[in-house]
Chains A and B, each alone.
Chain A
Amino acid sequence: MKRILLSLAFASLLPAQNVTSDRLVHALSEQQNWLTYWGDYSAIRHRDLDQINTSNVKNLRTDWIFQTGQPGEFQAVPLVVDGVMYFTAGNGYAYALDARSGRQLWMYKHAFPPGRKANGSNRGFAILGDRLFMVTPDANVVALEARTGKLLWQTEMAEFHNGQYTATLAPLVVKDKVIVGISGAEFGIRGFIDAYDAATGKRAWRFWTVPAHGEPGGETWLDDSWKRGGGSTWMTGTYDPQLNTLYWGVGNPGPDMDGATRKGDNLYTCALVALDPDTGKLKWHFQFTPHDTHDWDAAETPMLLDLKWKGRDRKLVVEANRNAFFYVLDRETGEFLMGKPFARQDWATELDAKGRPILREHQDPTPEGTRTCPGLAGATNWMAPSYNPATGLFYFTVREQCDVYYTNPAVYIEGRSYEGSVSRGVTDEPEWGLLKALDPLTGETRWDFRYFHAPWAGTLSTAGGLIFAGDFDGYFMAFDAKTGKNLWRFNTGNEVHNSPITYMLNGRQYVTMPSGSAVLTFALPVD
């Protein structure tokens, strides 16, 4: 009897989740939840929640804090599903919490075989039905039962070779498949995007981001350089259910700063690829930085927007790229529509009519060092942007920082860095950051807010007229979406390496920003 009572109580705490594929497609109609890494498939990161708004945000305060105790950068964006918060915390750990109180419901720890890399950042979960999906630092895809945290299956994405292959991203569930990417372009891998059957963990397809010789695009690699061509896929893609198309960013070519051994455009590195999610077949690609030698992965968010472009409704994909240009593409065809610099850059004079950069001379890395803007970390990076339909503005984080890039001939040794350089390229010039509100139709800046240091945190937009953002000095902040005025701030006590989310529970709006090793959740005081 006692046992039954207990299990009933447990059941009321953790109802079986049933996040159908249909719910994921219509994630924006569940404004109270946060069902995918991006909050929905388009990565708009805007919520029609306005309990917290420009007039009362000054009263926002911490409601609860959960300490994971996990060292490293806390990059995981939590999911919130019907009152339960799920997140990974790096180093193979994952948690489920009561999203109202921050109390732990379960914890999962990935079992690393002896001798394997057991630490590394992670960016979170995907959910389907009652199953959660994550990747691990030793490149496994793991499925957990959402109500218990119990391991259901795990599949190795790539054979473990001295830790060359790693994985960090939050998976993306499309229909019955779990779509994931790989990391390791600094170690001489050949990158790919994989799809796994959500029920069994069996691989359904693989798209190689570096084509072999003889395949389309294979001619863009000198000799056998494609075999270690890099092209990591370490950030979650976006998905258009109507076009049945997946949009995924591909990282840098390897060796990173030594381009001599891999002459050619090096497709599909530093490109956006549009794939059929059922088969993994390429529909189109757009390469932002051909033959990159500055480590400018195209791992930035490919946000899907439907806007009136020059008088006609068009389905667009927009991206502020690490190479300092803001791009607008037609997401049905991949056609380049616009590209404008949003930060200091001195590597390209301009983009041509097809969006290909026209290079300045002498901006390649050299043994003596070449100063180039933006720096290795890029003019922006993986931290999420957001879009507010009311203002029509795109809000994102800019890193104003240049580097000195060095190169030396890269020698491939399994399990060792294969970068063709030392990437310690920091100059003494002051760096700074910006929260930038940009009109995606023109590429013009509407307003900027300047940060003292270049940050690693993304943004969130709400119908309360607010933009939430974080900075490198630990501040979590709220801004007026129209004017850029800072309305509220809280110092989290650690560099913020994450992007905020918001959700609604029992009539209260919450805003969550992980920082340090803690999940910090904020709300207005209850009367």
Chain B
Amino acid sequence: MRIAAVLFLCSSAACCQSELDFADGKTTFRGNCAFCHGLTGGGGRGPALNSSRLVHGSTVADIKSVVTNGVPGTSMAAFDFQKDELDHLVAYIQTLSRSAAKSEPVAGDPVKGRQVYARSGCAGCHRIDMQGSVYGPELTRIGAGRSAQYIRESIVNPSADIPLEYAGVTVVTKDGKRTTGVRINEDTFTVQLRDPSQNFQMFQKDGVREVIAETKSLMPPYSSLDKEDLQNLLAYLDTLRGDLNAGAAVKKAEGVR
């Protein structure tokens, strides 16, 4: 199925630009971008790029700016490409975007979805616009940053893809007490984690019995949500396209750097 999609893209693009340019941009994309944006731009840990609504704009200049400068505050890094390599890459990303010009907004009722978010206790771990917990991933911009498909999977089966910065770890102390949380940092001799109460817990490994890397997500699967609730929740999350740096602006005004 995936192969078919690739073939389709190849043939559709060949009409508009040289085969070489296209191939070059595609290869660069696969090697540098596909880890997060998917092999064919369908999204994953990074936003879908086969969408008519590119978050930071769809012009050549917009895309170049994002690629070369990265997106501060997100996991989008800055990339240092040669000029023509960048040109080819941007041309390829635009073909992805154009090919999905008719993409529809996510179905469902965002207002009802917000109620699902509230009654399901999502804010116990997640934060939107400074409301909620920092235990789990920040969702203020989740609609811009992830495809609906990825978000659906993250709700129903969170262990399918666990971002490294939210990997779980359990520390068993010598008296048998277990502390589980999000791994903030771990090295050969120490581990620091954030517990569900949002407190830091810090350990020296020689003082504990065991450090266990959790293979499953710390988020429970919400597979029991009924179909309509899930769709409404997805519609709500898709509307979240806020400014992650809003808080930073306040800090700056207060003189905090």
A residues engaging B (CB < 8 A)?
367-369, 406, 408, 416-417, 421-422, 424-426, 428, 430, 450-453, 471, 473-475, 489
Contacts and interface: CB of A to CB of B under 8 A. Distances in A.
Given A422-B32, A424-B32, A430-B213, A452 B27 contact: no
Which among B27, B39, B186 has the highest number of chain A CB atoms within 10 Å?
B27
Nearest to B162: A428
Nearest to B2: A368
Contacts of B188: 450-453, 471, 473, 475
Contacts of A473: 187-188
Nearest to A451: B188
Secondary structure class of chain B's binding surface, majority of residues: helix
Contact of B186 (A368, A422, A452): A452
Interface string B189-203: 100000000000000
Contacts of A453: 187-188
Contacts of B23: 408
A406 B39 CA distance: 12
Query: Which 9 residue pairs across A and B have the least CB separation, nearest first?
Result: A422-B31, A473-B187, A408-B27, A406-B31, A452-B188, A451-B188, A452-B187, A424-B32, A471-B188
Contacts, number: 42
A451 B82 CA distance: 36
B187 A369 contact: no
Contacts of A421: 31
A416 B31 contact: no
Contacts of B35: 424, 426
Given A452-B187, A473-B187, A475-B188, A422 B28 contact: yes
A452 B189 CA distance: 8
A503 B32 CA distance: 45
Given A416-B82, A428-B164, A406 B30 contact: yes
Nearest to A453: B187
Given A368-B39, A428-B164, A430-B213, A475 B30 contact: no
A452 B35 CA distance: 23
Most buried by B among A416, A425, A428: A428
B213 A406 contact: no
20 contacts: A406-B30, A406-B31, A408-B23, A408-B24, A408-B27, A417-B82, A421-B31, A422-B27, A424-B32, A424-B35, A425-B31, A426-B35, A428-B164, A452-B186, A453-B187, A453-B188, A473-B187, A473-B188, A475-B187, A489-B189
Interface string B118-148: 0000000000000000000000000000000
A422 B35 CA distance: 13
A32 B164 CA distance: 46
Given A475-B188, A475-B189, A369 B30 contact: yes
A43 to B, nearest CB: 26
Given A416-B82, A424-B32, A430-B213, A367 B27 contact: yes
B96 to A, nearest CB: 17
Nearest to A421: B31
Contacts of A416: 82
B30 A368 contact: yes
Nearest to B163: A428
B31 A424 contact: yes
Given A425-B31, A452-B187, A475-B188, 6 more contacts: A406-B31, A408-B24, A422-B27, A426-B35, A452-B186, A474-B187
B81 to A, nearest CB: 10
Contacts of B31: 406, 408, 421-422, 424-425
